[in-house]
Amino acid sequence: MAVADFTTTYKESIFLPSQLSSLSSCLSNTRSHVLKPYLRARNVNKVYCSVAPNEVQTPVVPQPTSIKGECYGVFCLTYDLKAAEETKSWKSLINIAVSGAAGMISNHLLFKLASGEVFGQDQPIALKLLGSERSFQALEEWAILIGAKPRGPGMERADLLDINGQIFAEQGKALNAVASSNVKVIVVGNPCNTNALICLKNAPNIPAKNFHALTRLDENRAKCQLALKAGVFYDKVSNMTIWGNHSTTQVPDFLNARISGFPAKDVIKDTKWLENDFTEIVQKRGGVLIKKWGRSSAASTAVSIVDAIRSLVTPTPEGDWFSTGVYTNGNPYGIAEDIVFSMPCRSDGDGDYELVKDVLMDDFLRERIKKSEAELLAEKRCVGHLTGEGDAYCDLPEDTMLPGEV
């Protein structure tokens, strides 16, 4: 964890809420002091924290036996399990591991998770926040993998695939070693589809179906553009699929999208706009934001991670679906097997999903889906050394880019 950035020695302490102000030096080091009111609001009465001895002034209360092993990291938050047992109305604890916990996205995401907005107001959760230290402790249920190196000046996409791919190979191995086989993994760090493929290939004990690449940000962006064009509220847009890669080859599907229950093409009759402007705006939205703001989307990515998880833990509304990048292992759309491809999915709310079968296809859609498929197959060849498929051979199409690269 980023502890290594400011200290090399750790001391583990348990804090009560009244002692949180002294704890805030620990939390604020990682820009997460915003968590404090949320911890209070959720009656978190103990926080487990690793900080340097000279930063700790609070008395140490006995460590509950329910906290297993050591806690690595600047901050390592968990509910007091003993108290949870006493509170009969509480559901059983869900552990959530988040890598890149000190990054911009996490800065927005963590308190949304802690607020109860994602898993429910009555659902206790334990956040396992991970940074540079690649250890995954007591990992069960959900892992949100954000931590990745941003592309630096002059860095080729093939280099990024290799550098970040190695992170996700390690994390796949760590998950394989310690996580429950029921864990659901959301890969955010880019290039997220291929990172998710690398991660799942390195975690053979975990079903490949449990791995997701985040394309929900793209779905949200696409819904927003259709809503703006149609002059309706965002929540009137449904059945929005993002096909393919989280890159500029992604395909926002206006053929199947609906606005106020009607086909989007019947509401927005400007086909030229749908085929050209809409598609390109969504594909390049990340890059436009980086140009405007100087940094990549953080708050909206955090919101989209919340949306992506919520879509898996709540039943999908009748007739609707959501997009997520999933492992292709038998699909009704003729997409190549053994890649991570964004497709339309539904969930019963049990954390699992199924592909939506009855979607329309036309030549426009098919042609663009093929392009994104070709890009992902090329990315896969680039990381053969990380997926156990032998030597890498990198022949990426020249125009292949992350949304943030344009």
Ligand X SMILES: NC(=O)C1=CN([C@@H]2O[C@H](COP(=O)(O)OP(=O)(O)OC[C@H]3O[C@@H](n4cnc5c(N)ncnc54)[C@H](OP(=O)(O)O)[C@@H]3O)[C@@H](O)[C@H]2O)C=CC1
Ligand Y SMILES: O=C([O-])CC(=O)C(=O)O
Q: Answer yes or no: are the C-beta atoms of 24 and 17 closer than 8 Å.
A: no
Q: Give the whole-angstrom CA distance, residue 76 versus residue 68.
A: 12
Helix (H) or strand (E) holding 29: helix 20-29
Give backbone dihedrals phi and psi of 174, rounded to 5 degrees, phi first: -65, -45
385 classed as catalytic? no
Q: Is position 404 an interface residue for ligand Y (rule: CB under 6 A)?
A: yes
DSSP state, 204? Answer: T
The nearest distance, CB 243 to ligand Y, in angstroms, is 16
The nearest distance, CB 37 to ligand X, in angstroms, is 22
Candidate list 50, 190, 195, 225; residue touching ligand Y; CB under 6 A: 190
Candidate list 106, 297, 387, 400; residue touching ligand Y; CB under 6 A: 297
Helix (H, G, I), strand (E, B) or coil at 212: strand
Question: CA 76 from chain center: how many Å?
Answer: 19
Residue 89 exposed, middle or buried by CB count within 10 Å (0-12, 13-18, 19+): exposed
Residues that bind ligand X (CB under 6 A): 2, 99-100, 102-105, 131-132, 146-150, 167, 188-190, 192, 214, 217, 246, 296-298, 301, 404
| Nearer Cβ to ligand X (164/347) | 164
Closest C-alpha to 404, from 280, 314, 244, 290 = 290
Structure tokens, 143: 């892992």
Q: Is position 402 an interface residue for ligand Y (rule: CB under 6 A)?
A: yes
- Tokens 């019947």 label which residue? 266
Q: Which of 33, 108, 246, 385 is catalytic?
A: 246
Q: Is position 248 an interface residue for ligand Y (rule: CB under 6 A)?
A: no
The nearest distance, CB 160 to ligand X, in angstroms, is 9
Candidate list 103, 252, 286, 325; residue touching ligand Y; CB under 6 A: 286
DSSP secondary structure of 278-290: IHHHHHHHHHHHH
Candidate list 296, 316, 387, 400; residue touching ligand Y; CB under 6 A: 296
Closest C-alpha to 215, from 372, 366, 406 = 372
Q: Give the whole-angstrom CA distance, residue 29 versus residue 51.
A: 10
| Nearer Cβ to ligand X (124/165) | 165
| Nearer Cβ to ligand X (283/296) | 296
The nearest distance, CB 319 to ligand X, in angstroms, is 26
The nearest distance, CB 147 to ligand Y, in angstroms, is 13
Helix (H, G, I), strand (E, B) or coil at 52: coil
- Segment near ligand Y (CB under 6 A); pick from 110-118, 340-348, 362-370, 396-404: 396-404
Q: Is position 96 an interface residue for ligand Y (rule: CB under 6 A)?
A: no
| Nearer Cβ to ligand X (71/268) | 71
DSSP state, 356? Answer: -
Q: Closest residue to ligand Y, Cβ-based?
A: 404
- Tokens 């292992």 label which residue? 329
The nearest distance, CB 100 to ligand Y, in angstroms, is 12
Residues interacting with ligand Y, by CB under 6 A?
190, 217, 286, 296-297, 402-404
Which residues are tagged catalytic? Answer: 246
